[in-house]
Amino acid sequence: MKHVVRKLIWDYEKEEKWLNEMSAKGMALSELSWCKYVFTETPNNEYTYRIELLDNMPDHPDSIKYLKFLEENGIDCVSTYMRWVYLRKKSGEGPFDIYTDLESRIKHYKRINRLWKSVMWLELILGLFNVMIGVINYSFSSQDLSIVNVIMGGMLILLGLVFLIIGAPIRKKIKKLQLENLIIE
């Protein structure tokens, strides 16, 4: 039987934890799209899930090669969303850790941070651009439409700040892991 859950999760680690909690309840992820998770019933704890952000889109030759390598090692790619891949492994086959060393974990977090920063800067630049257009248009023609630009620009700037806040824990983890790496070396 299929179960559909609609949920918005910003933090991939919380999403990963939630997927593993669902697996503990006998629900295996079978499909995924934006804010929509489809589960099928399975024995409790049949799978362990991990989520990874790829360097490239899943249809890129390097990504295809990497996913094939994972498949050869008993790891299934359940679904993809943009550059995110949802991976699972049978729980009975042992622990499932993609990043076992500090360098690979740092690299993974840096990929995620780069994504958040890109979206943040895009939102901030578009927001400032809209505010400037609205102010310039209003000062030269005093049209009511200019206020729409200012409001939209303000909303985009706020959204950019949200992405700045969302990315803060990732940046802290990167610094912590880099410090650990320095201590080990």
Rg for the chain, CA atoms, rounded: 21
Give the Cα separation of 82 and 56 in Å (integer).
Answer: 9
Q: What is the pLDDT of residues 71-127, one digit of tens each?
A: 999 999 999 999 999 999 999 888 888 888 889 899 999 999 999 999 999 999 999
Q: What is the pLDDT of residues 118-147, one digit of tens each?
A: 999 999 999 999 999 888 887 777 666 678
Q: Which residue has the higher pLDDT, 99 or 53?
A: 53
Domain ranges of the chain: 2-93, 102-184
Predicted pLDDT of residue 39: 96
Give the Cα separation of 180 and 105 in Å (integer).
Answer: 12
Mean pLDDT of 55-72: 94
Q: Which residue has the higher pLDDT, 29 or 136?
A: 29
Pinpoint the alpha helices (H) of 30-97: 61-72
Strands 84-90 and 47-53, bridge-based pairing: antiparallel
Tell me: pLDDT of 1 over 90.
Answer: no
This prediction's pTM: 0.81
Backbone angles phi, psi at 73, to 5 degrees: -105, 20
